[in-house]
Amino acid sequence: MNVIDALKWRYATKEFDPSKKVSNKTLETILEAFNLTATSYGLQPIKLLVIEDKTKQKELVAFSMNQVQVAQASHVLVFCIDTLIDKKYIESYFNLVKKIRNTPDAILDPFKHFLIEDFEKKEKQEILNWAVKQAYLAMGNLLTVCALEGVDACPMEGFTNKDYDKILNLSSKNLSSVLVMPIGYRAENDYMSKLKKVRKELKDSVIKL
């Protein structure tokens, strides 16, 4: 499938076939694509939680506006943000750059100090909002990657973040859930899969100057 055909093929899947599993190889591609997502400053203030535990998935339905996709899916991906983004966090990014690229401190230090100061000036909520944007970007990326891999997915904001955080014990890891994405393969009888895609005409979405 070319990318446009894949994007036309995909849809927000309402019913998955619970008997079909995403293979480890395909899952690894999806996880690697998550890690390759571009993020602001390259800081990657996001983590992906992968759930493959059916009991847990069933438990989460009640906190997902009763959306059964969460129980039926092969895997449930939970996009989380790091909630502790401080000086140490930023320094660890620059240590990674140094390790991978062998960049001298003299080159890295000015930008490192700028970022540390810039983040120190921000309110905690502003930093969290910034991190949330990176989680949306990662989900957008994975929606396309899943489509190209022939994997169905349902992007979901319809869940209660506090309950997910509690059930998945996220705060102990300085994480908080932002988005949920069950992945797997569409059920034969998902009526949504047969409906035409609803999109504005291209001329109403794009302005060419």
Ligand X SMILES: Cc1cc2nc3c(=O)[nH]c(=O)nc-3n(C[C@H](O)[C@H](O)[C@H](O)COP(=O)(O)O)c2cc1C
CB 182, min distance to ligand X, A: 10
CA 182 from chain centre, in angstroms, equals 11
Structure tokens at 115: 């970022």
CB 39 to ligand X: min, Å: 17
Q: Is residue 76 exposed (0-12), middle (13-18) or buried (19+ Cβ within 10 Å)?
A: buried
Which residues pair with residue 181 across a beta bridge? 77
- Closer residue to ligand X in complex, CB, 94/185: 185
Compare residues 44 and 67 and give the one whose CB is closer to ligand X: 67
Q: How far is the CB of 18 from ligand X (least distance, A)?
A: 17
CB-CB contact of 33 with 145 (8 Å):
yes
The answer to whether the beta carbons of residues 183 and 22 sit under 8 Å apart is yes
Q: Which is nearer to ligand X, 197 or 203 (CB)?
A: 197
Nearer to ligand X, 45 or 155 (CB): 155
Q: Closer to ligand X at the Cβ: 9 or 93?
A: 9
**Contact (CB, 8 A) for 97 and 112:** no
Residues forming contacts to ligand X in the complex (CB under 6 A) are 11-12, 14, 67, 154-158, 197
| Length of the chain in terms of residues written | 209
User: At closest approach, how far in Å is the CB of 12 from ligand X?
Assistant: 3
| Residue where the block lists tokens 């339905």 | 61
Is 60 in a helix, a strand, or coil? helix
Q: How far is the CB of 63 from ligand X (least distance, A)?
A: 12
